[in-house]
Amino acid sequence: MARIQTLLVANRGEIACRVIRTARRLGIRTVAVCSSADRQALHVRLADSHIEIGAAPAADSYLRIDRILDACRRSGAQAVHPGYGFLSESAAFSRACREAGIVFVGPSPESIAALGNKSAGKQLARSVGVPCLPGYNGSAQDTDTLLAKARAVGAPLMIKAAAGGGGRGMRRIDSLDDEGALREQLDAARQEAEASFGSGQLLLERLVLEARHVEIQVFGDSHGNYLHLGERDCSTQRRNQKILEEAPGPGVSPALRDAMGQAAIELARAVRYEGAGTIEFLLAPDGSFYFLEMNTRLQVEHPVTEAVTGLDLVEWQLLVAQGEALPLSQEQIRWQGHAIEARLCAEDAWNGFVPQAGVVLAWQLPQGRAIRVDHGLTRSPVIPPHYDSMIGKLIAHGPDRESARRSLITALSETSVLGVVTNRDYLIACLQAEPFVTPRLSTAWLGQHADAFTRPAPGPAWWAIAAACQMQASGAAYGEFANFASTGRRAWPLLLAAAGQQQPMQVSTGEPGRFQITVGEAVIDVALEPAAQGWLQATVEGVGHRVHWHAGNGVACLDALGVCASLTDRTHEGARGERKASGRIACAMHGLVVKLAVQPGEQVQRGQLLLAIEAMKMQHRIESPIDGTIREIGVAEGQQVSPGRLLALVEPAASPG
């Protein structure tokens, strides 16, 4: 097969950037595709050329096979790299590329069909002797059949989307007693699977408690060579979505690694698999393992495998796609040290993981030999509401697990994204939690311990830094402030709101950049001066702190002392009392209303489902905050909504007596 000269990357964000960089190192010309929302994205700027293929929604751009193939024709690309997500596991896309004479950097459509669907994959796994969990993966998909099969499998069980992963279309069922609730969960899983993967097919699987999620990276080529690159532990999950991954798996012995690796290779060999693939297993506490699924693509977490093996998996993908043999044999694979990856996402982890969208006002990412950062951020990036919420990935590599863990905590503490809420502090809490440190991992550990995590809250020193930054940025410290100081008044009143709190303060100053802030009973001296790479140096009572501050267009944000929050100056508004619990429910995200469960006039109870919104490929339940009566529904099924939109109005129930 001829060498690839021009490669089209059929994806966006950090994975598109990551593929482009390897292709460039190999001397391959790259072509980016983009939606109208991504015209200024980093992957567009990195590629040698780019072609816009449609509107912002993925269904109108990144999921359009016809437009991607047309972009290949127009750009002269001989090959397509699908990245992950979107069309990466589409047998139809792989087949369309082959029919168009374009190299698909991935497995054949036959391999994807045999392994990419969870149900088909389980049937194949059983046929080659790989252990599978009890469950149902049949073609009959009506709700009554699924209810009957669920009772046969027994609880606890998992409902899963057969055509995809990432936690979408997945529901845990602990009891089968409430048939109505089970029907609701089946319907919700089917809708989410259909929206995410274009298929509502479901499977049922018995749940093994306290099990770990361990996956094996495999590779195959067109010469009949197969090998594995070891395991990754992906047990740290929230809502069945991975947020921390590591390699090698803690406590995985060489014998267990070899057994799981050989089982994975048998599956790959059974379908003559070519390229990179991942076989996911459930690892029980007694050391037994069960096949879950195969991801017929590169994984989000592939960098931890690259870190411990020293290999470039995208390079291997491109070599295999060109018809070359795997560069190494199984005996030549070596693993060194330990690597941990954290997924930095635009979501409010302390408020139900609500996805965030908007303009990133300013950002800083760590640098260092032990840290790798994969991202797609430009100078003033926009996080669109149409795609996955992941901003980037931080990967720490060290000689052992503890050194990697500590390095990653440091790297996250040096990461700052202003203007959009992220899960940074939640990731740090995960890395510091006792079950992760020990480690005592399972897919359930985070859900069992996360209630003890608390959002970092501003303290007096944080408020003092915020006051100093606000006064300096507004010019008050040198203009109006100086005028009022010359009149002999002792302090300038300031009322700031941030992180759900508001703080009255008094500010006085002497030299430029030096402030004295009264916060409650505390009087705090703060000095501000520029620091390297866009940071500020805030010296509080003689102790220096590196802080990140941005003010502009009426928005101010501060990241200091472990607290990142937007600020509002309410000095001229006066103090406001706390609002009472309200039945007014406003939208907190961009999304699509996919279900209305109540109508005006209906009585509801606190916690009852009112509607569901699909945002960033996930379905979010909107529940009543109080007991009462529905007085107004502000949206309709199928309607696009944005933050602030009235969803529903619940009139509080009358107090007894």
420 within domain boundaries: no
Question: pLDDT-derived band of residue 573, with 50, 70 and 90 as boundaries?
Answer: low
Are 12 and 87 contained in the same domain?
A: yes
CATH number at residue 606: 2.40.50.100
Q: What would the mean pLDDT of 360-377 be, rounded to a whole number?
A: 90
| Domain interval for residue 194 | 134-206
Q: What is the pLDDT of residue 579?
A: 37
162 within domain boundaries: yes
Are 530 and 589 contained in the same domain?
A: no
Structural domain total, the chain: 4
Among 535, 569, 603, where does a domain finish? Answer: 569
Among 142, 174, 206, where does a domain finish? Answer: 206
Q: Is 590 left (phi over 0), alpha (psi -120 to 50) or beta?
A: beta
- Asked, as a colleague might, if the bond just before 156 is cis with ω within 30 of 0, I would say yes
Are 478 and 563 contained in the same domain?
A: yes
Q: What is the pLDDT of residue 31?
A: 98
Are 158 and 98 contained in the same domain?
A: no
316 within domain boundaries: no
Are 96 and 190 contained in the same domain?
A: no
Q: What is the pLDDT of residue 405?
A: 98
Are 76 and 177 contained in the same domain?
A: no
CATH number at residue 143: 3.30.1490.20
189 within domain boundaries: yes
Distance CA 247, CA 240 (A): 19
Q: Which range among 253-267, 372-386, 505-519 has the greatest average pLDDT?
A: 253-267
Check pLDDT > 70 for residue 488.
Answer: no
Are 533 and 595 contained in the same domain?
A: no
Q: What is the pLDDT of residue 473?
A: 80
Are 83 and 59 contained in the same domain?
A: yes
* DSSP structural state of residue 325: P
Instruction: Tell me the CA end-to-end span of the chain in Å, nearest whole number.
Output: 83
Check pLDDT > 50 for residue 383.
Answer: yes
Q: What is the pLDDT of residue 574?
A: 45
Q: Which residues contact 326 (CB under 8 A, 6 or more apart)?
A: 219, 220, 221, 223, 225, 227, 316, 319, 320
Check pLDDT > 50 for residue 557.
Answer: yes
Are 505 and 533 contained in the same domain?
A: yes
pLDDT in tens, 606-625: 889 999 988 755 677 898 98
Are 563 and 590 contained in the same domain?
A: no
Q: What would the mean pLDDT of 323-332 be, rounded to a whole number?
A: 98
Are 593 and 545 contained in the same domain?
A: no
Among 184, 206, 228, where does a domain finish? Answer: 206
pLDDT in tens, 429-487: 999 999 999 999 999 999 999 999 999 999 999 999 999 999 888 765 444 554 444 44
648 within domain boundaries: yes
pLDDT in tens, 163-182: 877 678 899 999 999 999 99
Instruction: Specify the range with the lowest mean pLDDT, choosing from 307-316, 410-419, 635-644.
Output: 635-644
Q: What is the pLDDT of residue 570?
A: 84
pLDDT in tens, 4-35: 999 999 999 999 999 999 999 999 999 999 99
Distance CA 554, CA 535 (A): 20
Q: What is the pLDDT of residue 166?
A: 67
350 within domain boundaries: no
CATH number at residue 540: 3.30.700.30
432 within domain boundaries: no
Are 57 and 141 contained in the same domain?
A: no
CATH number at residue 99: 3.40.50.20
What mean pLDDT value characterizes the chain? Answer: 91
Q: What would the mean pLDDT of 197-205 be, rounded to a whole number?
A: 89
Q: How far is CA 519 from the centre of its chain?
A: 37
14 within domain boundaries: yes
Q: Which residues pair with 523 in a beta bridge?
A: 518
How distant, in Å, are the alpha carbons of 204, 560, 561 from that of 456?
Answer: 39, 11, 9
Long-range Cβ contacts of 65-74 (<8 Å, 24+ apart): 65/90, 65/92, 65/93, 65/96, 67/33, 68/8, 68/10, 68/33, 68/93, 69/96, 69/97, 69/100, 69/102, 71/8, 71/31, 71/33, 72/8, 72/31, 72/100, 72/102, 73/100
